[in-house]
Amino acid sequence: MSNIKDLQDSIIEILSQKKDTPFLKEELVTFLLSKFDNYIKDEIENTIHEMINQYLLHESRNGRIDLLSRSGLFIGKINIKEKGYGFIQTDDMEEYYVAKEDTNHAMNQDKVLFRKLKSYVLEGKNEAIVVKIIERNMKQIVGRIYEYLDYKMFKPKDKSITIKIEVTDFGLSVNDDIVVVKIDKYVHDDYAIGHVEKIIGNKNDVGIDIKTIAMEYGFEQEFPKSVIDNIELVNNDYLKNINDELKRRKYVNRKIITIDGSDAKDLDDAVAIEKLTNGNYLLGVYIADVSYFVKEGSPLDKEAYLRGTSVYLTDRVIPMLPHKLSNDLCSLNENSPKLVIACEMEIDHEGKVLSSNIFEGWIKTVHRMTYDKVNDILLGNHDDKYQDIENELFIMNELSMILNQMRHRRGSLNFEIPEAKIIVDEKGKPIDIKLRTRGDGEKLIEEFMLIANETIASFINQMDLPMIYRIHDVPNSDKLKQFQRILKNTNYQLKLHGKNNINNAKSLQQLLDQVTTEDQGLSIMLLRMMAKAKYSHENIGHYGLASKCYTHFTSPIRRYPDLIVHRLIRSYLFLGQVSVDDQIKMMKIVMDAADQSSKKERDAISCEYEVNDMKMAEYMETHVGEVFEGTISSVTKFGIFVMLPNTIEGLVRIGDLKDDYYQYYDQLMALVGVQTNHIYRLGDKVKVKVTYADRYKQEIDFTIANQKINIAKYGKNSVKGKNHHEKRHRQNRRKK
């Protein structure tokens, strides 16, 4: 039997070189038979048929065969918005807008075959039409049960779902229950059959709003019984063997501390430091050995793989691992013996890691420190309780600044994007929204985790064995040029050095260093133009960190890739030789984990932002009619977005700018008054009045406060109401 993969490659090469009319299927078969005498006709026909089914090739209605892309067809995943329109994203991160009438009944995250629509650009995005749904993503749908006459009905929460869903079994659900309906079968593109698999709660339950959003993204607080049973076995095994395990491992007798937020309970990293006689620093980063407890293939492992990450939603955490592990067995609680994987590094005054030692150990932390307490001490406020580590804290801060300067020299990008902290009462109602602050305590832990992650990645990369990397690709050069044009309307400049030149990172870094608080909209815009960081088995480096080799090692309690890295370290460094068969198996595990973890990370980020948007809108519902000062964070053809100091963002629609008729200049990203020449642009300070807020739609509207109304200039050319451009831009205000 001939090699089918070679035949497929040959077909692709032949078709890519053919410049004139594509082959008819019979012509292609005949041509291949004449060119390759080691294939038979049936084999070639079956291969072509299979390549068509796999969407490697396209067969036109008249029977001609060509490559998918040369036929004007492409594959991507579609993100459907509430109003029914969507955006298709391809593997190379290109994005295409799809109008509601062109989605062809596609649902959120479906894999679709699409055709680009020529010569149309929507705010820098190409437009496309869905040709066919290749694979349905949605296996379950969250919605509400309601009664109509004597019948129970199901209404999806996601208003973008337009297909008919027939529920054959409502279980014990009653009127106004929020439920999960599992799809049993897609009968047609516009019709599915399912049953109620889970009752989330009643629509009036406290916290049901957040719980519903979390379930939409597949994040559930409760763990299945198999996982709970597994926890009991793990705990019993730990109690039985812990003394022997402690004797086997190295005890790290140093002044080790944890530094976390005051409300953190899953403490998975600890640090220690000392100044060596040669003037260098010995930094120890000690990470909870979660891989000791969570065995490959166990119910715990399978559930952690599915979840991918812990999710932090306003007043709660949906953990990747059950609390018995995340808050107890694995958490590096104060003065308690804990198993760790240690990474100790000798670092010089340039921030270079001269040597490292990675080993299994156990520790007892001497203090459970908070960021606030560390910041207080570093500001010079002495505390007798922590006098035994006070000197070490100042040495840590000293090294932290050295590491930060090292990263800055090599071109690391520092996006100081403001983040909100939403304060809620016991019923989940937002009562305040504050700006998160970052002191030296937060920064030093960040620097220590970055250098540990980089050290681990570089160490294993040199072994040329399977590894899961955290990668970040270079930015799209066209987007950088677009950003450069926008800057011409500001006091900033960006010098580009050719396509994807490494010096561009230096230029971007210099720009970010100059951006003032008032102009943070520029930093946010630039961040959105960056490629998305993700996990991969291939190392291409991390552009944002200017790192040639990077991974995630420091948070195995809350991130699945870190757990995989711990297992790889154990296999490569602690257990000895790794066979070729082991490497093949590990590579498959790494590739699967990278794809799944990248997906769940995106889901978690979207879920967190959706909850924040909802709570911010709910908070502003009580402030309608009030006036605030804010900064213009974005300008579009339909209006301006204004961000308040606490990061709440609202839209002033162009139709509500009543002092003039405004035109949008995309090259400047500005609205200019036709008769007054008044300009609204990024970074401008404005006073706004809250006119509308809706937690369910996650929308906030402003108008410019105290604006003078010129009726003669306002009217026939104004833009009223909401459209899909506005809705899309609202939902894409989120960071990447």
If you search the block for the tokens 């961000």, which residue do you land on? 643
Give the dihedral sign, CA 565/570/572/578. Answer: negative
User: How big is the chain by its Cα radius of gyration, in Å?
Assistant: 28
Domain with CATH 2.40.50.140 in the chain: 624-731
Q: Could you give the 3-state DSSP secondary structure of residue 570?
A: helix
Distance separating alpha carbons of residues 18 and 216, to the nearest angstrom: 47
Tokens of 11: 């077909």
Cα-based distances in Å from 420 to 318, 609, 671: 19, 11, 28
Distance separating alpha carbons of residues 340 and 269, to the nearest angstrom: 9
Which amino acid is residue 345, in one-letter code? M
**Cα dihedral 635/636/637/639 (nearest 10):** -70
Q: What is the DSSP letter of 533?
A: P
Cα-based distances in Å from 637 to 86, 195, 667, 724: 19, 44, 12, 12
Are residues 330 and 288 in contact, defined by beta-carbon separation less than 8 angstroms?
Answer: yes
Q: Enter the pTM of the model.
A: 0.83
* Answer CATH for 4-69 from 3.40.50.10420, 3.40.50.10800, 3.40.50.2000, 1.10.10.10: 1.10.10.10
Domain covering 624-731 assigned CATH 2.40.50.140 in the classification: yes
Cα-based distances in Å from 80 to 158, 395, 507: 10, 50, 36
Averaged over successive runs of 10 residues, the pLDDT of the chain (736 residues) comes to 73 85 87 83 88 87 85 86 82 79 88 77 67 88 91 89 90 93 90 94 91 91 95 96 96 97 93 97 98 96 97 94 96 96 98 97 97 96 94 97 95 86 93 92 97 97 95 85 80 74 77 81 81 93 94 97 97 88 93 94 92 96 96 89 93 91 85 91 91 92 80 39 49 48
Residue 433: strand pairing partners: 422
* Answer CATH for 72-135 from 1.10.260.40, 2.40.50.690, 2.70.70.10, 1.10.10.60: 2.40.50.690
Give the model's pLDDT for residue 449. Answer: 98
Give the dihedral sign, CA 297/301/302/305. Answer: negative
If you search the block for the tokens 């009319």, which residue do you land on? 21
Residue 359: strand pairing partners: 342
Are residues 303 and 594 in contact, defined by beta-carbon separation less than 8 angstroms?
Answer: no
Distance separating alpha carbons of residues 551 and 534, to the nearest angstrom: 10
Domain with CATH 2.40.50.690 in the chain: 72-135
Distance separating alpha carbons of residues 9 and 164, to the nearest angstrom: 42
- Distance, C-alpha 568 to centroid of its chain: 24
Give the model's pLDDT for residue 710. Answer: 53
Distance separating alpha carbons of residues 312 and 214, to the nearest angstrom: 10
Give the model's pLDDT for residue 230. Answer: 97
Distance separating alpha carbons of residues 428 and 329, to the nearest angstrom: 30
- Distance, C-alpha 363 to centroid of its chain: 33
Domain with CATH 2.40.50.700 in the chain: 140-205
Question: β-pairing, 257-260 with 367-370?
Answer: parallel
Give the model's pLDDT for residue 726. Answer: 54
* CATH class in words for 140-205: mainly beta
Are residues 568 and 501 in contact, defined by beta-carbon separation less than 8 angstroms?
Answer: no
Give the model's pLDDT for residue 713. Answer: 39
Give the model's pLDDT for residue 511. Answer: 87
CB atoms within 10 A of CB 22: 21
Q: What is the DSSP letter of 64?
A: E
Domain with CATH 1.10.10.10 in the chain: 4-69
